Amino acid sequence: MRAQTPPTVTVAATPPMGWNSWDAYGLTITEDQFRANVLVLRNELAVAGWNYAVIDEGWFLENPQDRPHPEKLVYTIDANGRYVPVPARFASAGKAMPAQMQAAVATDGTPYKLLMTTEATSFKALGDWVHAQGLKFGIHIVRGIPRASVERNLPIAGSAFHAADAADTADACPWDPTNWGVKDTEAGQAWYDSLLSQYAGWGVDLIKVDCIAAHPYKADEIRMIRKAIDKTGRPMVLSLSPGPTALENADEVAQLANMWRISDDFWDVWASDPGKAFPQSLTGQFAKAAAWAPTTKPGHWPDADMLPLGHLGPVPGWGQPRDTRFTPAEQQTLLTLWAMARSPLILGANLTQLSDATYKLLINKDVISVDQTATRSGQVMHNGDIIAWTADLPADAPDGSIALALFNVGESQVVVDSSFETFNIDPITYRVKDAWTGKNLGKLKSVPNLTLEPHACILWLLKK
């Protein structure tokens, strides 16, 4: 019997690359701000492969500044219980309809506790505009069904069910006040079918689902979302947050998702206090990336989280507005580790304040090529403060068939004087190129007497 050809991977065949609003705008982004960042993405970074533009959490909140006081939040929801964009923040979504303000009390006179307006707004026009720029459009949601929709028991589109039929009111995301969980039932599937059908109609190319990959891990809802995406027929990247996703769930998430977080939220912190999971530090990512590297394959990418580079403001998702705390050396280390781990590359900077230095980091074709084309990678040595990774590159890669990265995670200079064999590389002579400087280093069979500064790295491309 003739062997069958494996199906072509059409969704996330390489690690997704793009920009997400969270690190710079938190819950507050507006359409004008989003469009301004997308234009920079198109004009400056798309040529290097950065092509997803993602609106993160809060696009359905009329007053996101009141998130610390959930009882004050006003949600924008359609007649079928689904969040829709706030018209005052997203002008192309449609006009507000005050006549459809949801009644403040139920028909029996019981006051509703949660505030909402009923709108027929949509991201369709904004998604079309992103596509017209040659880019892809993404949004963030929290798993589940709006509590305000359940309170009013709104109908679920395309079904005979109502919100209360689908909601699991015993299952609340521990850190999010907006939603209830969804039952693994026919009604629950109808809810997710209605949701993903709506997003497909908006032209969504990436859906980032939060409170689902860890604390808690919700396999049932991941399966329902996967099924709902497949029903739409639209190729849509499924991204799962937050982390750390447990390694024992690796096989399952790799079957159902295209990318999933391997750590808690990562921010511009070199080293965290011992025992603290948040914020995730750069030094803490080395072990996590190494553990997940063997699971990486086309269409399914362990995600080391967004890149907090450049300017983080005006309203970053954590901390005060600032330029990234990472030093230039640490920024190269960050991008090198993500590239060697073949993580998705999702930038968090405010692109309207993109500096020349950050721009040069982001368009380095050799570094990006490692992330996008490596066929195998992993940590091969951890000796003291030196960590080494290697990656196999395509045989026809112009500058090298092997990538070698060396990191100094310590606080003092380290001199490396080692043969390539030390790093499980065939002990022969290679033509070597420095990926960060672009310099050809000649023919080498070792790393000869190399001084690595604290927190710094090298990324070399080796060609036989």
Quick: pLDDT tens for 438-463.
999 999 999 999 999 999 999 999 99
Give the CA diameter of the chain: 83
Please give the residue range of the domain that contains residue 171. Answer: 17-375
319 and 411 part of one domain:
no
pLDDT of residue 275: 74
294 located within any domain: yes
269 and 178 part of one domain:
yes
217: Cβ–Cβ under 8 A, 6 or more apart, which residues? 245, 246, 249
The pLDDT confidence band at residue 396, using thresholds 50, 70 and 90, is confident
* Segment among 2-11, 174-183, 259-268 with least mean pLDDT: 2-11
Tokens found for residue 167? 């909601």
384 and 319 part of one domain:
no
Question: Is the pLDDT score of 1 beyond 50?
Answer: no
Question: Is the pLDDT score of 136 beyond 80?
Answer: yes
Domain boundary among 327, 352, 375: 375
CATH of the domain at 405: 2.60.40.1180
3 located within any domain: no
Average pLDDT over residues 208-220: 97
pLDDT of residue 45: 98
Q: What is the Cα–Cα distance from 162 to 167, expressed in whole angstroms?
A: 9
Domain boundary among 375, 398, 425: 375
Instruction: Count structural domains, the chain.
Output: 2
1 located within any domain: no
Question: Is the pLDDT score of 35 beyond 70?
Answer: yes
Average pLDDT over residues 111-133: 94
Q: Which of 184, 178, 181, 226 is nearest to 62 (CA)?
A: 178
2 located within any domain: no
Average pLDDT over residues 411-432: 96
pLDDT of residue 286: 98
Q: What is the Cα–Cα distance from 367 to 362, expressed in whole angstroms?
A: 9
Q: Which of 114, 138, 118, 113 is nearest to 126 (CA)?
A: 138
Average pLDDT over residues 374-399: 94
131 located within any domain: yes
* Segment among 18-32, 89-103, 127-141, 340-354 with least mean pLDDT: 89-103
248 and 396 part of one domain:
no
229 and 162 part of one domain:
yes
361 and 426 part of one domain:
no
Domain boundary among 328, 349, 375: 375
Q: What is the Cα–Cα distance from 271 to 290, expressed in whole angstroms?
A: 17
217 and 350 part of one domain:
yes
154 located within any domain: yes
259 and 400 part of one domain:
no
Query: In this structure, are residues 241 and 270 in contact, taking their beta carbons and an 8 Å threshold?
Result: no
Number of other residues whose CB lies within 10 A of the CB of residue 288: 23
The pLDDT confidence band at residue 3, using thresholds 50, 70 and 90, is very low
CATH of the domain at 345: 3.20.20.70
388 and 306 part of one domain:
no
Return the higher-pLDDT residue of 400 and 204: 204
176 located within any domain: yes
pLDDT of residue 101: 52
Question: Is the pLDDT score of 109 beyond 80?
Answer: no
The pLDDT confidence band at residue 199, using thresholds 50, 70 and 90, is very high
The pLDDT confidence band at residue 2, using thresholds 50, 70 and 90, is very low
pLDDT tens readout for residues 328-381: 999 999 999 999 999 999 999 999 999 999 999 999 999 999 999 999 999 999
340 and 459 part of one domain:
no
290 and 388 part of one domain:
no
Question: Is the pLDDT score of 107 beyond 80?
Answer: no
Q: What is the Cα–Cα distance from 347 to 23, expressed in whole angstroms?
A: 8
266 and 169 part of one domain:
yes
Return the higher-pLDDT residue of 1 and 231: 231
Average pLDDT along the chain: 94
